[in-house]
Structure 1
Amino acid sequence: MPRAGPPHTVRTVTTPRDLRVSHAERAHIAALLDRHHTDGRLDGAELAERLARVTTSVTRADLNRVIADLPGAADAVPTRELLELSNTAGDLRRSGEWLVPPRVVVRSRFGNARLDMRRARFVTGDVLVESDLTVGNLDIRLPRGATVDLTGVRTRFGTVRDKLGASERPGVPHVVVVGGAWIGNVTVR
């Protein structure tokens, strides 16, 4: 009798508009509403009603609906598809609660880059990290359940380390790293 394999993992992809919002994003929208009230576009009752909706908003789409009929407010909580980080000397760092777009480009001539994604929010379930380091190390820290593909990474003088270990299936998020470092290490943990 054939042996049954592990159950298939269903990967969910969250669109940027369906991402949960932070206190800072709610405060940004509240400030926009206050400006429109000051400019006379909203009366006191409308301002109070909309501010109440802001405090109960869960997703970016919820927040954008609160201000959709106001000038200049289309997609007031923006999303980006690409994050480019670059420097000539020194270190590049991203950590804490930050938004990881589908594509991250890291360029550094003389310095290290550290992307700590353990508390980050991901726009999609798959992320492409393009590394272009001349002299320096790239260190990527991923949340639990994440997987990585380092098959497209090269170093001329250095090592490529996958400290997460191999996985049967892609996790969420699944990070694909390409490029590498001329002199330096690329490590994912």
Structure 2
Amino acid sequence: MVTSPQKDPSSLLSEDDREKAVQRLREAYAEERISHEEMDKLLDQLLTARTHSELASALNSLPEEVPDTPSTIAAAGGRIQRRGAWRVPRTLKVESAYARVHLNLSRAVIEHPDIDIELQLGTGGATIIVPRDAIVDVEGLHTGWKDLRYKPRQRSHPGGPKIRLSGAMGFGRLKIRHARR
């Protein structure tokens, strides 16, 4: 559900609420859980809705969301690398005993407002380059041997993805930086 329980059902919608609802509708259509005709009908309802209750009634007709299955990138040794215009899944697991990891999300296709990246690394460092407007949360990440190198942006731009890093790193260092352009 896009609307939160604290909001008054009769209160007017914000553009952010409407955009989240449209995104949920797009995802249901892309996953082939609704037909083209249903999407057109619901899109019209979402775009003309003025209150949270009108938005909720349109969204309640959508099928239940399918839980996200994580994508896994794994290697015993060597290098794990993603760069360019690669599609970032909602949940990404990176597992390795000895590999060096380099994930560049600066030009990646990011379709979700929240991205969870779970690192399970033994030895070998990792470098993650995030988009300029990304908000990075490293609270769920545990490093064993070396510290984390990350300097948060002083001014973040609204609308960027939130990237949550979790998991554990043994003997490597994790470097996170924002893309320069």
TM-score (norm 2): 0.59
Q: Which deviations, in whole Å up to 9, do the C-alpha atoms of 1:45-97 show, x marking residues without a partner?
A: xxxxxxxxxxxxxx968xx96xxxxxxxxxxxxxx742210000101011111
- Work out which of the residue numbers 74, 79, 83 in structure 1 matches 2:71: 83
- Work out which of the residue numbers 139, 146, 163 in structure 1 matches 2:127: 139
RMSD: 3.2
C-alpha separation in 1, matches of 2:131 and 2:158: 13
Instruction: Confirm or deny that 1:149 pairs with 2:137.
Output: yes
C-alpha separation in 1, matches of 2:86 and 2:157: 26
Identity %: 25
CA separation of 1:177 and 1:9: change in aligned 2, threshold 3 A: farther
3-state SS of 2:131 partner: coil
Structure 2 counterpart of 1:126: 114
TM-score (norm 1): 0.57
3-state SS of 1:92 partner: strand
Q: Which deviations, in whole Å up to 9, do the C-alpha atoms of 1:120-173 show, x marking residues without a partner?
A: 111310000000000011211111211100111111101112233366797521
Structure 2 counterpart of 1:110: 98
Q: Which runs of 5+ in 2 are unaligned?
A: 1-13, 37-67
Q: Which runs of 5+ in 1 are unaligned?
A: 1-7, 19-58, 66-79
3-state SS of 2:85 partner: coil
- Work out which of the residue numbers 143, 150, 155 in structure 2 matches 1:162: 150
3-state SS of 1:183 partner: coil
Q: Which deviations, in whole Å up to 9, do the C-alpha atoms of 1:88-115 show, x marking residues without a partner?
A: 0101011111111110000010011111
Structure 1 counterpart of 2:163: 175
What amino acid maps onto 1:110 in structure 2? Answer: Y
CA separation of 1:181 and 1:16: change in aligned 2, threshold 3 A: farther
